[in-house]
Structure 1
Amino acid sequence: MVAKQLVINSTSYETRVALIEGGQVSEYYIERSRDRGIVGGIYKGKIIRVLPGMQSCFVDIGLERAAFLYGGDIKPEGSHELPEYFDEEGKHEHAHQGDEEEGSETNPPKTLQKNYRISDLVKEGQEVLVQVAKDAISTKGARVTTYLSLPGRYVVLMPSINHIGVSRRIQSEEERNRLRSIVQKIKPEGAGIIVRTASENVPDEKIIADIDFLVKLWESLRVKSLKSKSPCLVHEDLDLVFRATRDLISRDLDRIVIDDKKRYEDLVRFLNRFSVKLGAQVQLYQGETQIFDAFGIEQEVSRALGSKVWLKSGGYLIIEQTEALAAIDVNTGRFVGNKSLGDTIVKTNLEAVKEIVQQLRLRNIGGIIILDFIDMDRSDDRDKVFQALVEELKKDKAKTTVLRISEMGLVQMTRKRTEESLMQKLTVDCPYCDGNGHVKSPSTVSYEVIRELLREFSRSNHEGFVVKAHPQVADRLLEEDKIFIDELKSKHSRKVVVKSFLDYHLEHFEIAPMRFE
């Protein structure tokens, strides 16, 4: 079994990426062509409202909702200093769009630097160049910052901050000094460079080329911004295929498997820019079974939308998510152990720790999280479980803060939220229970129908199929997603008829062979 691999399902309507570690799906990302995320994008915006009481402002960047800009995210004129929420290596929380390995994320800034007032920094009607740090979530607009950063393969360029930092994960002092020396020689005056973990033991010329590329990119963006009228997009980050590969390739990946030939060729070329060895890690999937079915990913994702998660021992977790916080409850379930009750409880809690962290990553649960472990009488047992949790969280790329286990078995923690959770992306409030639960959204079911049609095409020779679905799903297939249905019909030379049924549940659909009389 391959220890760690990236599996990519790429189609014209959506891209899905899954990170598999030890045979389990640990991270899952989805980007749909109609609602692509904007994190990392650089915009020329206009200040439309200043809020002195909140030391923040709203910025029109051309989207439906205005973006939110904290005072602590505004670089004072003429300042080249690091803001207070950079760590000792000069890492900004938005430096790599959530790339944990460089230690880039910290808690959001609460105050302005050096007691600046928001009214000293910006005025209504002023144009500003900002970068999106968080996508819009629920009713909140995107969060932006004026501390811009351009991530490359080996380094991150910060155009307006005079600083050099080296990833903490590079532990050799000799190697750290070598990398720092390279950057010092070619770093543009007034700009900052963060050396990423991927640069360890990389030849000088490759790091220099990466810096040179980013410097030229920044100069072209700067010129474009000067010529453009706000609000407008100045620079868009890579799409999910390249972004995920860039940010995850250094995490000891054994291989990358992708099912689209053109994207496979593009990805190989992209990685060959850095190393032929990296390009060789990419494999084109050509199996008859759809790639996420073949790797067992579809089943894992469906499981991640449920509230109950079984542990191998017979215990289970109950995971409940709200807009304000998430709660995870640990239960012994069918596990009775073979020694004392205390031993059974500790074993269940230790097993739960690994599953909890995996579910946090897979579901991308962020914000405030309460973990309710089974009560443990001995402080030594509580310490053992807490240390296991801390160790397991090191695998998580998102920034986490954890408080010690209380005598009641409760752990309070926070996990950095930069985008919607898996549930927010794939579901909507349930119309059958006044919003107390969730069902899959019409778009999610529509794409499931498309994938099921592909399966039917591959396993049967019928000339056509009839799709029976809820009216909202049928409308989606006949309108917004009609282009994808037409694409399938043309590519596979089959007929597809969509019929609407009022009595169908939103998630329920049927696909039957078309009868010709």
Structure 2
Amino acid sequence: MSQEIIINSTPQQIRVALIENGQVAEVNIERRKHRGIVGNIYKGRVSKVLPGMQAAFVNIGLKKDAFLYVTDVYDNLEDDDDDETEGDASENASQELQQKPQKAQRRRPLIQELLKRDQEVLVQVAKEPLGTKGARVTCHISLPGRYIVFMPTVNHIGVSRRIPSQGERNRLRKILKSLKPASGGFIVRTAGEERDEDDLKTDIDFLTRLWETLRKKSETRRAPSLVHEDLNLVSRTVRDIFTNKVEKFVLDSEEEYQRVVEFTEATMPHLVDRIRVFVKDIPVFDHYGIESELEKALQRKVWLKSGGYLIIDKTEALVAIDVNTGKFVGRKNLEDTIVRTNLEAATEVARQVRLRDLGGIIIVDFIDMENEENKRRVVSTLERELEADRARTNVLELTELGLVQMTRKRVRESLKQLLYQPCPYCKGLGIIKSEETICYEIQGAIQRLVSTTENGRITVRVHPSIARMLKGEEREIINSIATDYGRKIKLQEDKGMHQEQFQVSLV
């Protein structure tokens, strides 16, 4: 798979696009005045302990207190160097480890036994604040290097699941065991594949020194305070994505270009010649067709090459993706048409999930198929295409209703949440009450007023579109009340009113 990294940098924001086989696979955006906080380490103060939820709220200096689960506080791993758990440094390593089954049954400590109100704790942000929720934090600190992730709070050795060769995995694990200090855990990242002992040792030495510095720094800080800020988006891209698979690394900023070259010369000199500065007049994202792909990624409907299409809707609870044949009528029979559409859709669903950075529960409504083998082919295609995704995904079998349920780890806001804001007119609903409905609500409001008063003129202040309706096809509402109750009713237009707003008053 050929990869290219394209970076657009301005004083206001950094945008990074990962292109795979000529298609935009991922887009990450970081606003300079609103940098993300995932990976940051804070000295926090416990503000509330919740025994009923086995969690606690921690004040880390943000608008909303962070949320800390009990499993993010205690170490549920055995101190065993033969640990076979695998980790991927693109995710929070401590959460990977929590899913490892314990070797012996032991009572899990309760949150009220571990934390008390006003207690100071060192935590790392695992998930950005999303919607109305505060950040999620963990006490299991993980410090990613180029080839290694260091976890000072657990005793563990692991190798990234993306290194497929068992022989290479055994070699790396053997090196880690020989280099591992008395305490702390290490995971070899995907970039550590085929690296020698010196490379891994350099990373381990750097990360252990960094942890010692952070630990001492935290001892002198008062809670709440920031102890360590993660790298910016460009530096994280070099650290996490720039590997031998990347054929070209393009930046449109001379300043960022120099920084990347300096870092790469020190850590990966064999990749320096792949870094280039973009000097053309046309914007770099336009030149590589990324801007148009970004615009498409924000649309509800996604067309497939065959003529079928996807409809992608995000709700508070989940993301729903509907597959439709659209203009595609096939050639052989109905089952063949449906299977072809579903297979193409499975590939595009995987791409859209990555591109839009969708997370949480995702439901894909494939077109119903009769043949069991065809169903397995569709699910296998989806799973295969998701293998390139750096975020952890879990795909379940196709249900009897033709639905595929999957989960994808959500760490940050989706692309749409980052670039859009709720419509101030409909407040994010996407719909408002019809003009006809508002007219009937006004009718009820007038009737309530005239039934409780004996005389006086009634003024109805409304949006101009509602006024036109009441003067036109719904004029009988005003006429009948005026006749039945013998009252004068005056319509008053107000352009500043919301279409759903109205005011009925007695003059």
1:232 aligns with: 225
Pick closer, same or farther for the CA change 1:107–1:332 going to 2, 3 Å: farther
User: Match of 2:267, as an amino acid?
Assistant: F
What is the one-letter code of the residue matched to 2:52? G
Shift of 1:163: 1.6
> Match for 1:291 among 284, 296, 319?
284
Alignment partner of 1:115: what SS? coil
**How far apart, CA to CA, are the structure 1 residues paired with 2:101 and 2:77?**
20
On the 8 A contact 2:85/2:100 being kept in 1, the answer is no
Mark the CA change 1:196 to 1:415 in structure 2 (over 3 Å): closer, same or farther.
Answer: same
SS for the counterpart of 1:201 is coil
Aligned to 1:52: 51
Query: Relative to 1, partners in 2 of residues 1:173 and 1:21: Cα closer, same or farther, differing over 3 Å?
Result: closer
Structure 2 counterpart of 1:23, one-letter code:
G
In structure 1, the partner of 2:379 is: 386
Counting only pairs closer than 5 Å after superposition, residues 61-460 of structure 1 correspond to structure 2 as 61-75=60-74, 81=78, 88-89=84-85, 91=87, 96-98=89-91, 105=96, 114-250=107-243, 252-437=245-430
Look up the equivalent residue of 2:34 and give its one-letter code: D
1:182–1:333 distance in 2 versus 1, CA, 3 Å: same
One-letter amino acid of the structure 2 residue matched with residue 275 of structure 1: M
Residues 362 and 172 of structure 1: is their aligned pair in 2 closer, same or farther, counting only changes over 3 Å?
A: closer
Native 8 Å contact 1:103 1:168 kept in 2: no
- Cα deviation for residue 168 of structure 1 reads 3.2
Displacement of 1:174: 4.1
Which residue is 1:477 aligned to? none
Q: Distance in 2 between matches of 1:330 and 1:128?
A: 47
The amino acid of 1:216's aligned partner reads: R
Give SS of 2:11's match: coil
Q: Which runs of 5+ in 2 are unaligned?
A: 432-494, 497-507
Any residues of structure 2 matched to 1:447-486 within 5 Å, and which? none
Residue identity (%): 51
Distance between the aligned counterparts of 1:215 and 1:387, measured in 2? 41
User: Cα distance, 1:286 vs. partner?
Assistant: 0.7
Q: Paired residues, what number?
A: 430
- What CA deviation, in whole Å up to 9, does each residue of 1:247-286 have, x standing for no partner? 1123721111111001101011112222211222211111
**SS class of match (1:58):** strand
Say which one has the larger Rg: 2
Secondary structure class of the residue paired with 2:397: coil
TM, length-normalised to structure 1:
0.78
Asked whether the 8 Å contact 2:3–2:20 carries over to 1, the reply is: yes
Runs (4 or more) in structure 1 with deviation over 4 Å come to 102-113
Distance in 1 (CA, whole Å) between partners of 2:397 and 2:423 is 36
Which secondary structure state, in structure 1, belongs to the residue aligned with residue 335 of structure 2? helix
Measured after TM superposition, the shift of residue 428 of structure 1 is 1.0
CA shift for structure 1 position 377? 1.3
Contact 1:40–1:97 (8 Å) recurs in 2 = no
Residues 268-317 of structure 1: CA deviation (Å, up to 9, x unaligned): 11122222112222111111100111111111111111100000011000
Alpha-carbon distance between aligned partners in 1 of 2:45 and 2:95, rounded to the nearest angstrom: 27
Q: Could you tell me which residue of structure 2 aligns to residue 41 of structure 1?
A: 40
- Counterpart of 2:466 in structure 1 is none
1:82 & 1:344 partners in 2: Cα distance?
Answer: 55
Is the Cα contact below 8 Å between 2:86 and 2:161 reproduced in 1? no
CA distance in 2, matches of 1:386, 1:177: 31
TM-score, normalised via structure 2 length: 0.80
Q: Report the residue type matching 2:298 in the other structure.
A: L
Query: Which amino acid is the alignment partner of residue 66 of structure 1?
Result: D
Distance in 2, matches of 1:306 and 1:109, equals 39
Deviation at 1:82, TM superposition (A): 7.0
Q: Contact (CA 8 Å) 1:105, 1:399: kept in 2 or not? A: no
Instruction: Give the secondary-structure state (helix, strand or coil) at the position aligned to 1:300.
Output: helix
Contact 2:2/2:245 (8 A) holds in 1: no
Query: What amino acid does structure 2 have at the position aligned with 1:89?
Result: T
Structure 1 residue 89: Cα displacement: 2.0
Gaps spanning 5+ residues in structure 1: where? 439-501, 504-517
Question: How has the CA–CA distance of structure 1 residues 82 and 338 changed in structure 2, closer, same or farther, with 3 Å as cutoff?
Answer: farther
